A and B are shown apart, each in its own frame.
Chain A
């Protein structure tokens, strides 16, 4: 019998019951909740007279709708429908007795940043949220994925999910990254190599020297975008860096419980003889700073490349590329570094953590954004914001001409006041470049925080390696 993968181990430790056809009832250790996908689930509980089975394992935070400007505690700062969704979360959190971080709390932020920060996310756990970027938490060696509203209700009521197991995929990044290359470039390059459906049906484990070398922040960036590669979840085996990050967090175990936890966490790795259904290997040295040129995260190229010709693709992708180039207002053969930018957005659950802000600030220090540039930094949580202020990063951003915002999803999606106008072009550190994602008619180029900072200074997509 072959050994087990990390995914196999976590899965096996959470099966409550298995049917003959392989359908399992899987126990959920942490349930994260935000305001958009949860109201109907709570209403369902109420109508059926049910309770939240494990309120102590359920954490709620509003993030998608909330404005990121001062004065947002005033409900009048939101349009009616957003205000109602946020107010519903307030009420539900109170009524059902779950942990809650309202906008007035300094710990509020994007749900996928708050979870790890508060020590809710720990290695070996199962973590779900009514949100596809729940994959982020896989950076801790936790099995984490998004679910629909009916499933949110199912987890609230039963603390379990009905699931069938996915297949195992290994993505190995060997060797070292070159200067100027970051976790974002790794995760985008993997999607570029596999396509947005390359991970469909799989749970990915990222491994290799370049992954081990990443900080926890970088690992979260990598796992965050597992979903853009089509995978159910992304995982990275926990190690000393993971334990170091978790230690002392408000909801991490303490004392003897900590020691016991670490002993268990150290068993969480894929055995040498584990079976993989699919293996992808990239060399760390081969990865360049990348940008997306199209309207799918797989439309990714090194910054030194040119906009591709649609007929360089095959099958249905030819039409899709044509449509993308037209939507993006580009021309085949155009150098990516010639693409002019009018907006820069640094933030989101992909790149809204302290290390991301440090990377951007390092490029911006002593510089100014291009005249007319609309540039904003939206820290992923109130605590990231506070730390960045303490480290002097906020001042660097402000001096450079960036808006320094409060925490939330902000311009990652057009559901709050931060949106692109039609035809506006943004270098964004978020994760989706779909048509209209940042506002109807808006154009998004996905980049790392350092690349976003470089573009803010020059006014066009820029190879950050020329600035370091």
Chain B
């Protein structure tokens, strides 16, 4: 998994509440064989019309937000289906951080498995960040995971909370697999013991 330490990027404003995983990646894209490549279908039904043309008003279609790496979004982001395709699509588009007042639980955890930092902030801070994001490509928001701060383009800094263990994993680019692989010697000795006790397995 890609490490997450510091990020200075364009933030796209999505003030909508209850953005669900069906909106993030509709079901017709689940018959894919990849985690990657879902970025073009991120927010597919909001982003394209029935003929597949871009809807110019949608935020990620606007020239200033095409390179966005941060989303500032309304309440309860990522609710609905547990599909891991949602964080896959966000990551593939290039989104590394989502800031909201609240997240759905499964989506929140899935983010950490895929190198995305979800940040919970109180409404008044989200409002400030939303305003900053509205300024477009010149307004880069800085996220510092080590220091646990988000800083606006004009230098206002806000602290955020993050679970210490999850922070450790993200900063070191460790996913569950990476962590379990650190226990390889325990697995090796288990295998040796099991092979003696149950050689047929």
Contact = CB atoms under 8 A, between A and B. Distances in A.
Given A16-B190, A124-B198, A149-B84, A40 B180 contact: no
Given A16-B186, A81-B31, A261-B198, 12 more contacts: A25-B187, A40-B33, A40-B84, A43-B36, A44-B177, A157-B180, A157-B181, A158-B184, A252-B200, A253-B199, A253-B200, A257-B199
A88 B180 contact: no
A346 interface: no
A257 B200 CA distance: 7
A43 B84 contact: no
Given A16-B183, A27-B187, A154-B177, A148 B33 contact: no
Contact of A154 (B32, B176, B183): B176
B194 interface: yes
Nearest to A41: B35
Interface in A1-52: 13, 16-17, 25, 27, 29, 36, 39-40, 43-44, 47-48, 50
Nearest to B82: A148
A350 interface: no
Contact of B84 (A16, A122, A150, A154): A150
A29 B201 contact: yes
A330 to B, nearest CB: 28
Interface in B154-197: 176-177, 180-181, 183-184, 186-187, 190-191, 194, 197
Contacts of B34: 39-40, 43
A371 to B, nearest CB: 37
Contact of B177 (A84, A153, A252): A153
Interface of B: 31-36, 82, 84, 88, 110, 113, 176-177, 180-181, 183-184, 186-187, 190-191, 194, 197-201
A88 B177 contact: no
B183 A17 contact: yes
A175 B88 CA distance: 52
Contacts of A29: 201
Interface string A146-185: 0011100110011110100000000000000000000000
Contacts of A47: 36
B31 A82 contact: yes
Contacts of A40: 32-35, 84, 88
A48 to B, nearest CB: 7
A: interface residue count bin: 35 or more
Given A85-B31, A257-B199, A17 B186 contact: yes
B186 to A, nearest CB: 5
Contacts of B183: 16-17, 25
Interface of A: 13, 16-17, 25, 27, 29, 36, 39-40, 43-44, 47-48, 50, 53, 81-82, 84-85, 88, 122, 124-125, 148-150, 153-154, 157-160, 162, 252-253, 257-258, 260-261, 264, 415
B79 to A, nearest CB: 18
A162 B180 contact: yes
A156 B198 CA distance: 21
Contact of B180 (A25, A39, A84): A25
A213 B65 CA distance: 66
A33 to B, nearest CB: 13
Given A40-B88, A43-B34, A48-B177, A27 B194 contact: yes
A341 to B, nearest CB: 29
Nearest to B114: A150
Contacts of B35: 40, 43-44
